[in-house]
Amino acid sequence: MLFRIITSLLETDLYKFSMGQAIYHQYPSYTTTWTFKCRNKDVHFTPEMVEEIKRQLRLYCELRFTEEELEYLRNIKWIQNSYVDFLRLWQPRYEDFVIGTDAECGLSIETSGTWLNTSMYEIPTLAIVNEVYFRMQYDYDDLLESFKERLEKKYEDVRSNRFCLGTFSEFGLRRRLSREAQELAVEKFSHLHDNEDKSCKSFFVGTSNVYLAKKFGITPVGTMAHEWIMCTGQGNHKHNPAYSNWYALDSWIKEYGVLNGIALTDTITTDCFLKDFQLTYATLFNGVRHDSADPIEWGEKMIEHYKSLGIDPMNKTLLFSDSLDFEKAAGIAAHFQGKAKVAFGIGTYIANDTKVPSLNIVMKTTFCNGQDVAKLSDVDGKGMCKNPEYVDYLKRSIKWRMDHE
């Protein structure tokens, strides 16, 4: 391949800037290690693919923010000048990457360094791995044609109200078929952004891809990821990890107040999250995001929690983002109509729906400040940690808290 897959440092998810600013102001000395994992058991990366991934990451590390890009970020109401000035100086470091072939799938990647640096590598790395794989494993032109056909059908499905989603956005950068494919999808659905067709019951809010949001004049979307709760709660060795959510929510409010507030619930289980998501935080945050377990059960649990605090759920947003397609999202929207505001972040189904299966790849924080950190999630299989003993310790800490508070 003779082109760059990542062409701009804006080509990442918005929540990397949301978290990045808070890291810059509150945790600039924290260090993290991130580990790549391919969950597909039948996928293998060839040595040629690994070499191309290395080349693309070197090209990515040559990029710098332009003044035009920095001005775009500055105009996002919660981004501060101090962070923009830091980004003017910031650059990715290829020296932070260790890339090899010593994994079951044929590809191993780890990044280590300051949290400020390594957090920014996750999304571009996954986008590069994904695009290299599909271009080198298959007939890419054939895949792109199947992608376009399915995209056209998806658009007609929502435009004609076959599926009524309400508010939705595109979250597919990390697992997209290609830069070209994601751009086609975002451009297509941006026709629903202004919702000029008043009969259409689906409204496209925007995309997590900041570069494409800027290009098409739509809203960049995203607040926090699991790394925020893992590192703020578990990276300080003095913290009880069962209170990870409290530390994460407290730091977020210090940074943003009532701005930029959708809280992620499932890092160390939603039941434990609710112990800390009491009246002050539930009032200040605009809503909560679902990323694992049954969405209907989760949504009902959140509604009951809001009601128990005297908060009208219709004034809060339930954002669903776990492995959604339009049919599933429409079903969730119908269930919660009149109960709460709902919105959807839809990723792979929009950005990588072709005639072949998509990859299930992740890159997660595995160490913070030299200490193990873990995501448990609300279901088995979505967690990730290198040390089973630490997972056992974390689970026991949570159980003690749940049993004794």
**The predicted structure's pLDDT at residue 382:** 74
Q: In the Cβ-directed half-sphere of 270, how many Cα atoms lie within 13 Å?
A: 20
Nearest in space to 38 (alpha carbons), one of 118, 101, 113, 120:
101
Note the residue count of the chain: 405
The DSSP output letter for 209 is B
3-state SS class at 280: helix
Question: Mean pLDDT, the chain, as a whole number?
Answer: 96
Q: How confident is residue 197, by pLDDT bands cut at 50, 70 and 90?
A: low
Q: State the Cα–Cα distance between residues 317 and 308, nearest whole angstrom.
A: 16
> Is residue 196 predicted with pLDDT exceeding 90?
no
Query: What is the average pLDDT across 205-215?
Result: 97
361: which 2 tokens?
């790849």
- The secondary structure of 93-126 as a DSSP string is -GGGEEEES-STTS-EEEEEEEHHHHHHHHHHHH
Residue 202 — φ and ψ, nearest 5°?
A: -125, 135
Structure confidence by residue, pLDDT tens digits, 277-295: 999 999 999 999 999 999 9
Between the two ends of the chain, the Cα-to-Cα distance in Å is 57
Over the stretch 357-375, which tens digit does the pLDDT of each residue have? Answer: 999 999 999 999 999 999 9
Do the domains spanning 14-138+357-404 and 143-351 agree at the CATH topology level? yes
Neighbours of 341 (CB within 10 A): 16
φ and ψ at residue 270, rounded to 5 degrees = -65, -35
Above 90 in pLDDT, residue 265? yes
Cα separation of 20 and 117, whole Å?
Answer: 9
Q: How do beta strands 202-207 and 166-170 pair? A: parallel
Provide the β-strand partners of residue 111: 34, 97
Judged by DSSP in three states, 152 sits in helix
Domain boundaries 14-138+357-404, corresponding CATH code: 3.20.140.10
Identify the CA nearest to 254 among candidates 16, 47, 26, 8: 26
Q: Give the pLDDT band of residue 193 (cuts 50, 70, 90).
A: confident
The distance between the two most distant Cα atoms of the chain, rounded to a whole number of Å, is 60
Q: Which two tokens stand for residue 278?
A: 């009491």
pLDDT digits (tens, 9 = 90+) for 158-173: 999 999 999 999 999 9
Residue 1 predicted with pLDDT over 80 = no
Q: How many helices (H) and strands (E) does the chain have?
A: 16, 12
Mean pLDDT of 332-350: 97
- Neighbouring CB atoms inside 10 A of 318's CB total 25
- Judged against a pLDDT cut of 90, whether residue 343 lies above it is answered with yes
Q: Where are the domains of the chain?
A: 14-138+357-404, 143-351
In this predicted model, what pLDDT tens digit does every residue of 391-400 receive, in sequence order? Answer: 999 999 999 9
User: What are the tens digits of pLDDT across the range 86-125?
Assistant: 999 999 999 999 999 999 999 999 999 999 999 999 999 9
pLDDT of residue 377: 87
Give 241's DSSP letter. G
What is the DSSP-derived secondary structure letter of residue 359?
P
Band of pLDDT at residue 15, cut at 50, 70 and 90: very high
Residue 115 confidence (pLDDT): 98
Of 114, 146, 199, 110, the C-alpha closest to 357 is 146
**Residue 2 or 340, more confident:** 340
> Hey, is 375 helix, strand or coil?
strand
Give the residue-averaged pLDDT of 182-190.
96
CA distance 205 to 182: 16
Fold adopted by 143-351 = nicotinate phosphoribosyltransferase (3.20.140)
Q: Which residues pair with 290 in a beta bridge?
A: 320
pLDDT at residue 194, as a whole number:
66
Name residue, tokens 């918005």.
14
